[in-house]
């Protein structure tokens, strides 16, 4: 979520605002004395310089922004101005605002569009919208010439959802194309090549992502996350996250509900099964037949339910993309296409095939062999543990737990290897890239996850060990997924907030040393750190001659004055949004 912490700018030096600077004529406190006060004798008072995680989490939502584009902190202003000029000329419908963050020292483009521009974008994109009942109802592709037939078209706040606004802006950004001979630093564009994906693949653009809307998130939190034993608000999920995410959760809810039938039937069957072997065998056969019938009905019912939701959300008869764009990561030699007569990248297929035969295939087979050997080693360790008398009962589960950990670790390692192999094979289209990646990952995951179960069930034919191993694998993988989904992101967030707090403390110490003890802390405000940081950066750069290197001094002064005006507005309590001059 693109939000600026409310304490990011005004908390680190909050306690120093009441202090007065030393009188004229008195020497300023030496740097060692300031650092000694901060980190030495008065270490307890330094706690007020640190921003707690609760203060960082109290954020002010970004207003009038749908998509955020961030850049590395090493990006020069020539790159920013070049891209900003191309966006404004190539996509005049967009409103782009540039900001600089003081703590991260990174620039960002805050992108949005007016309602009239979004209507034209919906017409270009072919966005399907609901039609009023008097005009036939249902959904159809939006048309500006007949905009009066669509529901809520008179309301700017209700006609487009945030997801639709972001989809239109993303469509415009992805279709910003270069002209023949254009280049940015060492990046040479082909004619009609998309600019934004290429710059993102080269690392010039750090990331492009949609901005959350806190009001809708709070509503979904109450009606979806915190709701118990209630139907999922699939329409609200679709309006906010899109059809793909909504369809996934629709399938997940449908699958969870359908699992009630085999669970109930299996419990009843287990209750009435007798202890003899014949009764158990009959119960297994009956339960297997039930699963066959249940799975068939489940698939047919989901086809019907999925088609119903697709029709409701307007994606049932949506046309596919006629021409798929090449991947931004695709590389090759430049040539003139024999079909379109346009310049393109070409990578010989024999090179890809040679890499697959000599590198990809041997490495994949070697990984499968390693998984098999590790499995045999865990089984030998299991036999060794069972042969030792007097060990506690929990000791017999240690080899199984070790096998479960090896399964998870090897899966993560192989996934990174598969991505590297796919990148080296250099596929031109995204569909081909994903297809070969799925083949590599699914093959390894199947062998890695189920080889041990097949080995025990069909080769050793030990049902008790199979039950124990299946229990350990299920519990360990479920625990590992929970840790990865919940605890790891939480720990990473706390660590990042701690780093930001420490950085704020160090910046406060340096600023106090430079000012000779004068408090220079920024004013209160949610997003004013962007403007204040820009003013200080521009003023300091002008003083040090950085901006003036190879550029007119007047431009340097204009930028510094413009940033100073932004700072004055921020100090006056006005939310600052500035456009790059």
pLDDT per position as a tens digit, 282-309: 998 999 999 999 999 999 999 999 999 9
pLDDT for residue 546 is more than 80: no
In a domain, 21, yes or no: no
pLDDT for residue 514 is more than 80: no
Do residues 281 and 370 share a domain? no
Exposure string over 136-150, b if 16+ CB within 10 A, otherwise e: eeebbebeeeeeebb
Do residues 344 and 479 share a domain? yes
pLDDT for residue 53 is more than 90: no
For residue 323, the model assigns a pLDDT of 62
pLDDT for residue 129 is more than 80: yes
pLDDT for residue 501 is more than 80: no
Q: Classify 576 as helix, strand or coil.
A: coil
Q: What are the structure tokens assigned to 30, written together?
A: 């030496």
For residue 318, the model assigns a pLDDT of 58
pLDDT for residue 108 is more than 80: yes
In a domain, 40, yes or no: no
What predicted TM-score, i.e. pTM, was given to this entire model? 0.65
pLDDT for residue 111 is more than 90: yes
Do residues 311 and 338 share a domain? no
For residue 473, the model assigns a pLDDT of 84
Do residues 361 and 456 share a domain? yes
- Overall average pLDDT of the 508-524 stretch: 60
Residue 23 buriedness (CB in 10 A; 0-12 / 13-18 / 19+): exposed
For residues 65 and 530, the answer to whether their CB atoms sit within 8 Å is no
**Residue 179 belongs to what domain range?**
67-211
For residue 489, the model assigns a pLDDT of 82
Mean pLDDT of the chain: 77
Query: What does the pLDDT look like over 406-446, one tens digit per residue?
Result: 888 898 899 999 999 998 999 988 889 999 999 999 989 88
- Overall average pLDDT of the 254-266 stretch: 94
Higher-scoring residue by pLDDT: 524, 324 = 324
pLDDT for residue 581 is more than 60: no
For residue 62, the model assigns a pLDDT of 64
Q: What are the structure tokens assigned to 45, written together?
A: 């008072």
Most confident of 384-388, 418-422, 554-558: 418-422
- Three-class HEC string of 59-79: EEECCCCCEEEECCCCCCHHH
For residue 191, the model assigns a pLDDT of 81
pLDDT for residue 253 is more than 80: yes
pLDDT for residue 56 is more than 70: no
Give the domain-ending residue among 211, 238, 266. 211
| Number of domains forming the structure of the chain | 3
Give the domain-ending residue among 485, 509, 533. 509
pLDDT for residue 518 is more than 60: no
In a domain, 108, yes or no: yes
Higher-scoring residue by pLDDT: 10, 506 = 506
Do residues 373 and 498 share a domain? yes
In a domain, 45, yes or no: no
Do residues 190 and 258 share a domain? no
Higher-scoring residue by pLDDT: 450, 34 = 450
pLDDT for residue 558 is more than 70: no
In a domain, 524, yes or no: no
Do residues 238 and 265 share a domain? yes
In a domain, 467, yes or no: yes
C-alpha 130/C-alpha 88 separation (Å) is 32
Give the domain-ending residue among 211, 245, 278. 211
For residues 177 and 90, the answer to whether their CB atoms sit within 8 Å is yes
Do residues 299 and 394 share a domain? no
In a domain, 453, yes or no: yes
For residue 265, the model assigns a pLDDT of 94
- Overall average pLDDT of the 515-534 stretch: 43
In a domain, 56, yes or no: no
Do residues 346 and 271 share a domain? no
Query: What does the pLDDT look like over 146-173, one tens digit per residue?
Result: 889 999 898 888 899 888 999 999 999 9
For residues 460 and 411, the answer to whether their CB atoms sit within 8 Å is no
Do residues 386 and 406 share a domain? yes
Do residues 247 and 204 share a domain? no
Under the banding of pLDDT at 50, 70 and 90, the label for residue 251 is: very high
Of 340, 413, 341, 328, nearest to 374 (Cα)? 413
Of 55, 46, 67, 79, nearest to 4 (Cα)? 55
CA–CA distances in Å: residue 90 to residues 87, 123, 179, 356: 5, 18, 11, 41
Do residues 366 and 462 share a domain? yes
pLDDT for residue 228 is more than 60: yes
């Amino acid at each position: 979520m693109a939000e600026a912490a409310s304490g990011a700018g005004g908390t680190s030096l909050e306690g120093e605002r009441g202090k007065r600077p030393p009188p004229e004529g008195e020497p300023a406190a030496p740097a060692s004395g300031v650092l000694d006060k901060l980190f030495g004798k008065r270490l307890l008072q330094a706690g007020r310089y640190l921003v707690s995680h609760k203060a960082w989490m109290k954020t002010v939502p970004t207003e009038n922004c749908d998509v955020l584009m961030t850049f590395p902190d090493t990006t020069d202003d020539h790159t920013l101005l070049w891209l900003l000029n191309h966006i404004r000329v190539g996509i005049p419908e967009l409103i782009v605002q540039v900001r600089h963050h003081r703590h991260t020292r990174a620039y960002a483009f805050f992108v949005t569009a007016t309602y009239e521009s979004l209507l034209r974008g919906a017409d270009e994109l072919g966005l399907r919208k609901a039609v009023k009942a008097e005009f036939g109802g249902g959904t159809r592709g939006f048309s500006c010439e007949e905009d009066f037939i669509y529901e809520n078209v008179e309301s700017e706040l209700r006609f487009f959802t945030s997801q639709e606004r972001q989809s239109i802006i993303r469509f415009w950004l992805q279709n910003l194309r270069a002209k023949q001979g254009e280049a940015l630093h060492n990046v040479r564009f082909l004619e009609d090549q998309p600019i934004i994906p290429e710059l993102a693949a080269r690392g010039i653009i750090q990331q492009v992502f949609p901005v959350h809307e806190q009001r809708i998130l709070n509503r979904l939190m109450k009606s979806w996350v915190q709701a118990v034993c209630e139907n999922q608000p699939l329409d609200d999920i679709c309006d906010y996250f899109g059809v793909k995410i909504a369809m996934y959760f629709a399938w997940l809810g449908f699958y969870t509900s359908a699992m009630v039938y085999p669970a109930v039937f299996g419990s009843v069957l287990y209750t009435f099964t007798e202890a003899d072997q014949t009764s158990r065998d009959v119960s297994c056969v009956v339960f297997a037949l039930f699963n066959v019938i249940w799975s068939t009905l489940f698939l047919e019912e989901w086809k019907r339910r999925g088609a119903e939701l697709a029709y409701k959300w307007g994606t049932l008869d949506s046309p596919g993309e006629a021409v798929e764009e090449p991947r931004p990561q695709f590389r090759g030699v430049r040539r003139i296409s024999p079909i379109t007569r346009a310049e393109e990248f070409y990578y010989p297929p024999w090179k890809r095939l040679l890499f697959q035969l000599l590198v990809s295939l041997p490495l994949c087979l070697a990984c499968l062999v390693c998984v098999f050997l590790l499995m045999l080693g865990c089984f030998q360790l299991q036999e060794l543990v069972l042969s030792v008398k007097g060990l506690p009962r929990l000791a017999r589960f240690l080899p199984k737990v070790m096998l479960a950990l090896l399964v998870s670790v090897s899966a993560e390692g192989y996934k990174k290897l598969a991505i590297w192999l796919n990148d080296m094979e250099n596929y031109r289209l995204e569909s081909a890239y994903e297809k070969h990646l799925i083949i590599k990952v699914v093959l390894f995951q199947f062998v890695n996850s189920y080889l041990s179960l097949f080995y025990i069930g069909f080769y050793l034919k030990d049902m008790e060990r199979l039950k124990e191993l299946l229990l350990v694998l299920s519990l360990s993988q479920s625990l590992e997924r929970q840790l990865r989904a919940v605890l790891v992101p939480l720990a990473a967030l706390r660590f990042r907030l701690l780093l930001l707090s420490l950085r704020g403390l160090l910046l406060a110490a340096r600023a106090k040393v430079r000012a000779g003890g004068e408090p220079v802390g920024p004013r209160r405000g949610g997003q004013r750190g962007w403007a204040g940081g820009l003013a200080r950066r521009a003023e300091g750069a002008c003083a040090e001659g950085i901006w003036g290197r190879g550029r007119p001094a007047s431009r340097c002064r204009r930028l510094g004055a413009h940033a100073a005006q932004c700072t004055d507005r921020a100090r006056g309590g006005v939310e600052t949004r500035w456009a790059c001059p």
